[in-house]
Amino acid sequence: MDRCLACVFATALIFSQLPGWAQSPQPALGEWIKRASMGMGIRTEPGVVALNGKVYAIGGSTRVLDDLATGEVYDPATDRWSAIATMPSGVNHNSAVALNGKIYIVGGFSGRPPGATGPRVHQGAEAHLQEYDPISNTWRKLAPMKSPRGSVGAAALDGKIHALGGRGRDVATVTTHEVYDPAANSWSDRAPMPTARDHMATIAVNGRIHVVGGRLNERDDNVANHDIYDPETNSWSVGPPAPTARSGGQFALIDDFIVFFGGETSRRTFSENEAFDLTANRWIILPPGPTGLHASAGAVLGDSVYYPGGSTGPGGDAITDQLLVFRLRRALR
């Protein structure tokens, strides 16, 4: 029996060291806490980004208002939220990136079909690119994307903004990949994504863009795909898939770890919290969230990831104003 157990543990050790292998949960690697709830109330599917030591949540929707033009900013030093100027055009399912001291809101959905009731649907994809200047607290509209899309993945890399995938006005997912050049105020096409999908987690790190998870069509068409874009060759490669297939999950980068939290299907939200170790090229399992969550996004300040708003139920159910924070402990790093 002892020899059998030894074989089991030896085999587990070997497999745990293989690239892409996801280890068991390790509670010592992080902790969850709550901070002040958002000041303007519940908000789901906003654009979330960190800039100058603060966290911004912009746009999104509630069960009553579909296209929020409002935004707010959280100051961790005071644990308080305050309002910012309203966007020119309200949107939900929009993405947010920070670049050169400004915040950019990319794409999104607006409106719903006449007479529709209940949770919002993907309707009215927009091509908007909206820029916010936190110094002057002002907005301006820039050149729109070549194709309108909501639930688009966005990342800032090498001074430009990449907009990937999403859904168009026909509600079909796309592989579209456009890049915005602020100097020219124009968009150009790049190599399309390998698989059409939306609601995926997208982040730029070490000169590459990682796109993980998402949905092919309906909320149960979730995938664990991990695609990596190289701008130097304008090509895609395949990375180790995420341990949990899901859509609507949130990405965040701390040191050499891409933290991947939350997501949904039509039946439930995910509390799973995983991280891709860029150095070891494999996934590890982090302590799960205190509740399932989707339709938020992760913003990193120091060793912590901030997740404002979102929904603790699938779709537009259980929209929240909470601010969840995951603090990564040094044991992982």
Per-residue pLDDT at 14: 33
| DSSP H/E element including 274 | strand 273-277
- Angle, CA 237 vertex, CA 236 and CA 240 arms, to 5°: 140
Per-residue pLDDT at 4: 41
- Residue-wise pLDDT for 267-276, tens only, equals 999 999 999 9
Whole-model pTM above 0.75?
A: yes
Question: Which structure tokens are listed for 330?
Answer: 């040094």
Per-residue pLDDT at 23: 56
> What Cα–Cα distance (Å) separates residue 267 from each residue in 39, 123, 270, 312, 314?
29, 22, 10, 12, 6
Using an 8 Å Cβ cutoff, are 163 and 145 in contact? yes
Closest CA to 93 of 8, 171, 150, 17: 150
The answer for residues whose C-beta is within 8 angstroms of residue 9's C-beta and 6 or more apart is: none
CB-based burial label for 196 (10 Å; 0-12, 13-18, 19+): middle
DSSP per-residue codes, 140-190: EE-PPPSS--BS-EEEEETTEEEEE--B-TTS-B---EEEEETTTTEEEE-
Question: Which structure tokens are listed for 179?
Answer: 């890049």
List, in sequence order, the alpha helices (H) in the chain: 2-16
Question: What structural domains does the chain harbor?
Answer: 28-328 (2.120.10.80)
Q: Torsion over CA of 218, 220, 225 and 227, rounded to 10 degrees?
A: 30
How many other C-beta atoms lie within 10 A of the C-beta of residue 184?
A: 10
Residues of the chain with pLDDT under 70: 1-28, 112-123, 330-333
Closest CA to 128 of 140, 141, 112: 141
Closest CA to 292 of 328, 268, 265: 268
